[in-house]
Amino acid sequence: MKNGLKITAIVILIYVHIAGLLMDVPRLAILNETVRALYFHVPMWFGMVLLYVASSYYAIRYLRTQQPDDDVRAESFAHTGTAFGLLGIFTGMLWANYTWGSPWHGDPKQNGAAIALLVYLAYFVLRGSVENREQRARLSAVYNVFAFAAMVPLIFIIPRLTSSMHPGSGGNPGFNVYDLDSRMRFVFYPAVAGWFIVGWWMATLRYRLKKIKEKLDEREFA
Amino acid sequence: MTGRILVLLHKEWLLELRRKSVIAGLGLYLFSLVFICYLTFALHQQALNKVTWAALYWLTVLFSVVNAAAKSFIGERSGIFLYLYTVASAEQVLLAKLIYNTILSCLMALAGFVLFAVFIFNPVQDVYLFLLIVLLACAGFASSLTLISGIASKASNSNVLMAVLGFPVVISILLIAIRATRNALDGLGRSSSTDDVLILVAINAIAGAMAYILFPYIWRS
C-alpha cells in the first residue's frame, strides 16, 4: 500500500513533467510560456506549508506525550519543508526574472516567504545550540509551534493588506480566474498531490535515517 | 492568582532598582541608537521623510526592546529559577514577566519618542493614536520576546539566539506598527487605521495565548 502511493507519486510526477512542459497552455500577455511555472513553483509552496503543518503537528504531539520519536519527525518535516521552500523561492525568482524583470522584486509574497524560511533556519540554529537531547526536543518544539503561529499573520494577512504583483493577490488574477482553464487543472492538481507525496516520502526517509543513526550510536556506546 | 502576580511584579521592580546598572545600560543603549540615527540622518534633515522616521523609530524601539526582554530570563542565576519554581506556577511567572516587560518596553518606546522628538523631529499629528499603537506594539513585542528569552536562556549562545529567534517572530508586529504609525504621523482620520489597530490586537492575542500555553513546557526543565 505504502509502496503503491510512492509509485503513484512517481508516475504522477513523470506525467506532470511531460504534460507540464509539452501540453498546450493558454496564451496570455506577459506571462506567455512562463505560465508553466504554475506546475512547478506553486506546488512547492503548497508542499512547504503542508510539511510545516505536519512539523508543527508533531511538535505539539511531542509536547503532549514526550515521545522522542515525535521530535525527530518534527525535525524531518521541517527540514523537508525548508528544502521545498528554497526550491519555491528559486523557481519563483526564475519566473519573476522573466515576468517582473528582476529575480528579487521586493514583493510582499517574496518577503513573507523569505521570512518564513528565516524562522525555520532559526529553528535549526536553536537545535544546534542545545546540547541536552531532551531539552533540545522540548525547546525546539515550543519554538516550532510559536513560530508557526507567528507566521500565520505574516503569510496570510500582511500580503493581503499591501499591494502585490503576485498572481492571486492585490487584485491580480489568481490561477483560478481565467488562466487556469480546465486543461491546466488536469496538470496542476496532480502536480500538487505528487510533490506533496514526494515531500512526505523524503521526510519519512530522513526520519528513518536518523533513527538508524541513533541505533548505531547506541550500539557504539554499548 | 493576581496577588501572586503582583508580588512577582514587585520583586521584579525591586530587583531592577537594586541593579541600576542594567537599566542604565538599557537607557544608554537607546540613547546611542537615537544618537547614531541623528548623526547619520539629521545632518541633512530634508533627507528624512515621515516614512523613514517611522521605520527608524520602530527599529530603534525593536532593538532596545529585544535587549530589555532578553534580560528577563538570560543572565538570571539558576537559583532564582529554582526558588520561583517552588513558590509560583509557570503561568504566574510568565504573566508577571510579561506585564513587567510590557511596561518596560512602553517606557523605553516613550523615552525613544522623546529622544527622537528632541534630536530629529516630531512628525506625530495624532498623538493619542500614536500612543495606542506604541502600547499595542510594545505588548506584542513583550509577549513574543519573553517566551523567546525563556527559550534562548536554556541554550548555549543565548544572546545571538535571542536575535536570531526573535526577529522573524516579531516582524509581523513591526510591519503593522510601521503601517499604523504612518497614518498617525499624517494625522489621517481614525477610521483609516482601525484595521491596523485591530490586527495588532489580534496578533497580540495570538502571541500572548501561545506564550501562555507554551511557557510551562520550557519552565519545567
Residues ≥6 apart with Cβ < 8 Å to B64 = B26, B29, B30, B33, B105, B108, B112
Q: Assign B77 to helix, strand or coil.
A: coil
Q: Specify the number of domains making up chain A.
A: 1
Please give the ipTM for the structure prediction. Answer: 0.81
Other CB atoms within 10 A of residue B34 CB: 23
Lowest mean pLDDT segment, chosen from A31-35, A117-121, A212-216, B120-124: A31-35
Measured CB to CB, residues of chain A less than 8 Å from chain B are 63, 115, 118-119, 122, 125-126, 129-131, 134-135, 138-139, 141-143, 145-147, 149-150, 152-154, 157-158, 161
Which residues constitute the domain of residue A114? 2-210
Q: Min CA distance, B210 vs chain A (Å)? A: 6
Report if residue A215 sits inside a domain.
no
What residue segments make up the domains of chain B, in order of their start?
A: 2-219
Contact A158 B175 (CB under 8 A): yes
Q: How far A30 CA sits from the closest chain B CA (Å)?
A: 31
**pLDDT recorded at residue A10:** 86
pLDDT tens, residue by residue, A103-130:
777 677 777 788 888 888 999 999 888 8
For the residues of chain A, what is the DSSP string, one character each? -HHHHHHHHHHHHHHHHHHHHHS-----TTTGGGGGHHHHTHHHHHHHHHHHHHHHHHHHHHHHH--HHHHHHHHHHHHHHHHHHHHHHHHHHHHHHHHTSSS----HHHHHHHHHHHHHHHHHHHHHT--SHHHHHHHHHHHHHHHHHHHHIIIIIHHHHS---STTSTT---IIIIIS-HHHHHHHHHHHHHHHHHHHHHHHHHHHHHHHHHHHHHHHH-
Which residue of A52, A109, A117, A126 is the best one to mutate when testing the B interface, meaning the one whose CB has the most B CBs within 10 A?
A: A126
Q: What is the 3-state secondary structure (H, E, C) of A46-96?
A: HHHHHHHHHHHHHHHHHHHHCCHHHHHHHHHHHHHHHHHHHHHHHHHHHHH
Residue A114 falls inside a structural domain: yes
Do residues A61 and A195 touch, judged by C-beta distance below 8 A?
no
- So what's the pLDDT on residue A27? 64
Neighbours of A109 (CB within 10 A): 22
Please say whether the dihedral angle defined by the alpha carbons of residues A111, A149, A192 and A77, taken in this order, is positive or negative: positive
Nearest CB neighbour to A129, from listed B157, B167, B195 = B157
pLDDT tier for residue A170 given thresholds of 50, 70 and 90 = very low
How many beta-carbon pairs under 8 angstroms link A with B? 86
Among the partner residues A63, A129, A150, nearest to B207 by beta-carbon distance: A150
Say whether B151 and A118 touch across the interface (CB within 8 A).
no
Place of cell 491580480: A172
pLDDT of residue A55: 92
Domain assignment of residue A153, yes or no: yes
**Which residues in chain A are closer than 8 Å to B218, comparing Cβ atoms?**
138-139, 142
Closest CA of chain B from A32, distance in Å: 34
Contacts of A63 in chain B (CB under 8 A): 214, 217
Assess if residue A16 is contained within a domain: yes
Query: What distance in Å separates residue B198's CA from the closest CA in chain A?
Result: 12
Sort out which chain B residues have CB atoms less than 8 A from A126's CB and list them. Answer: 151, 155, 161, 164-165
Closest Cβ opposite residue A153 in set B148, B203, B218: B203
What tens digit of pLDDT does each residue of A69-96 get? Answer: 899 999 999 999 999 989 988 888 888 8
> Could you tell me which residues come within 8 angstroms of residue A54 by beta carbon, excluding any fewer than 6 positions away?
A77, A81, A200, A203
* Residue A171 pLDDT > 50: no
Q: What is the pLDDT along chain B (221 residues), one digit of tens a residue?
A: 778 888 888 888 887 888 888 888 889 999 999 888 888 876 666 667 788 888 889 999 999 998 888 887 777 777 777 777 777 788 888 888 889 999 999 999 999 999 988 888 788 888 888 899 999 999 999 988 998 888 888 887 778 888 888 888 888 888 888 888 888 888 777 777 788 888 889 888 988 898 898 888 888 76
Cβ separation B155–A118 shorter than 8 A: no
Taking an 8 Å cut-off on Cβ atoms, the answer to whether A161 and B179 are in contact is yes
pLDDT for B137 equals: 92
Residue among A47, A48, A55 nearest A140 (CA): A55
Share of chain A above pLDDT 70, in %: 81
Q: What is the pLDDT of residue B109?
A: 92
Residue A222 lies in a domain: no
- Chain B residue numbers with beta carbons less than 8 Å from the beta carbon of A143 are 148, 151, 165
Q: Which of A53-57, A182-186, B93-97, B198-202 has the lowest average pLDDT?
A: A182-186
What the block records as the C-alpha cell of A129 is: 545550540
Assigned domain for A143 exists: yes
Please compute, for residue A164, the number of CA atoms within 13 A of its CA located in the half-sphere on the CB side.
Answer: 22
To test the contact with chain A by mutation, choose from B73, B74, B149, B172 the residue with the greatest count of A C-beta atoms within 10 A, namely: B172
User: How do the residues of chain B divide into helix, strand and coil, expressed in percent and rounded to 5?
Assistant: 85, 0, 15
| Cα B84 to Cα B81: distance, rounded to the nearest angstrom | 5
Cβ–Cβ gap A142/B151 under 8 Å: yes
